[in-house]
Amino acid sequence: MPQLFMESPLLFIAVVFAFCLVIGSFLNVVIYRLPIMMERDWREQCEEFAKSPPDLDIPEERFDLVVPRSRCPSCGKLIKAWQNIPVISYLVLGGKCAGCGSRISARYPLIEFMTALLSAIVAWRFGFGVEAIAAIGMTWMLVAISMIDIDHQYIYDNMVLPLVWVGLTLSLFHPLDGAEKLFIAPKASIVGAVAGYLSLWSVYHLFRILTGKEGMGYGDFKLLAALGAWLGWQMLPLIILLSAVVGAVTGIMMIAFKRHERSAPIPFGPYLAAAGWIAMLWGQEIVAWYLDYWS
């Protein structure tokens, strides 16, 4: 099979796309359930916090990424296996529950399709090999982190900290034959993780001193540290610039179209994740083009 994938890149891309549709379906479960699992865990550990009314409807029975089975949020009817085929089931059912006819959010098939598409692009970019497998895994995590941050404005340590350690560990395998696009030297990885965290940490505290407000969360620092560990400190200026530009443009558009209050916070994690994903695939080429242009 590895030999077949190396000889037929299109087959590898197609297999990745199909497989990652299923992964996208699982990410929908992670995006919905992990915040509930985390809040329940926090309440069990903190007696004082447990006295306050819950922000989410937290079940008392077992609730994790495997149990219970998926149900319709409107009627509670169990979702059968054929009704849970990524994207296809949504189209067959016309975007409605088979039991009660309630509308199913288009967000679910969109996340499935986005996960598959981004993973297929990674497969096309790197080709079959260790780099592609690592980058596809990174893509899955960035999708989940981004959607949870959009929903709850949290970036959980149990998602982002493993990315830091995996990035540092992968640097131990540099150099590898044919691995010139992703894996970096240990020194660049370590400096990238430290510089990534401290750069946003410094901005956060400077903004707080000047305005008395908190401009971002600690999860953003850790996410940039993870990207620095994966891509090296050389990519950090590009990631920060891309995320700041996209975030500013998006925020202005949301305010202009009156879809967002000026005082309401905007999660920065999705912009960091998008910028990091772009830098992971084309960062070296973008930096080289920029240096050539100005030289």
CA distance 129 to 223: 25
State the CB neighbour count (10 A cutoff) for residue 113.
17
Q: How far does CA 246 lie from the centroid of its chain?
A: 16
Together in a domain, 15 and 25: yes
Beta strands in 141-219 (DSSP E): none
pLDDT tens, 211-236?
877 767 889 999 999 999 999 999 99
Same domain, 16 and 37: yes
Mean pLDDT over each residue of the chain, to the nearest integer: 84
- Which of 128, 147, 179 is the last residue before a domain boundary? 128
Write the pLDDT tens digit of every residue in 63-119. Answer: 777 777 787 777 777 887 777 778 888 888 888 877 777 887 888 899 999 999 999
Residues 152 and 236 grouped into a single domain = yes
Residue 288 structural domain: 129-295
pLDDT confidence of residue 179: 45
Same-domain status, 114 and 190: no
Phi, psi angles (nearest 5°) of residue 132: -65, -45
Residue 143 CA to residue 101 CA, distance in Å, equals 29
Give yes or no: residues 165 and 287 share one domain: yes
Listed in sequence order, the residues at least 6 apart from 180 whose beta carbon sits closer than 8 Å to its beta carbon are none
Query: 120 with 152, same domain?
Result: no
Domain co-membership, 120 together with 136 = no
Quick one: pLDDT band at residue 165, thresholds 50, 70, 90? very high
| End residue of a domain, out of 128, 149, 171 | 128
pLDDT at 175: 65
Tokens (6 digits) for 151: 């929903």
Burial of 51 (0-12, 13-18, 19+ CB in 10 A): exposed
Domain boundary (95, 128, 161) is at: 128
Number of domains in the chain: 2
Find where tokens 């080289």 sit.
Answer: 288
Could you tell me how many helices (H) and strands (E) the chain has, helices first? 11, 0
SS3 call for 124: helix
Given a cut of 70, is residue 262 above it in pLDDT?
A: no
Query: Do residue 115 and residue 146 come from a single domain?
Result: no
Is there a single domain that holds both residue 144 and residue 204?
yes
Residues 138 and 268 in one domain: yes
Phi, psi (degrees; rounded to nearest 5) at 217: -105, 165
Pair 276, 191 in one domain: yes
Do 153 and 244 belong to one domain?
yes
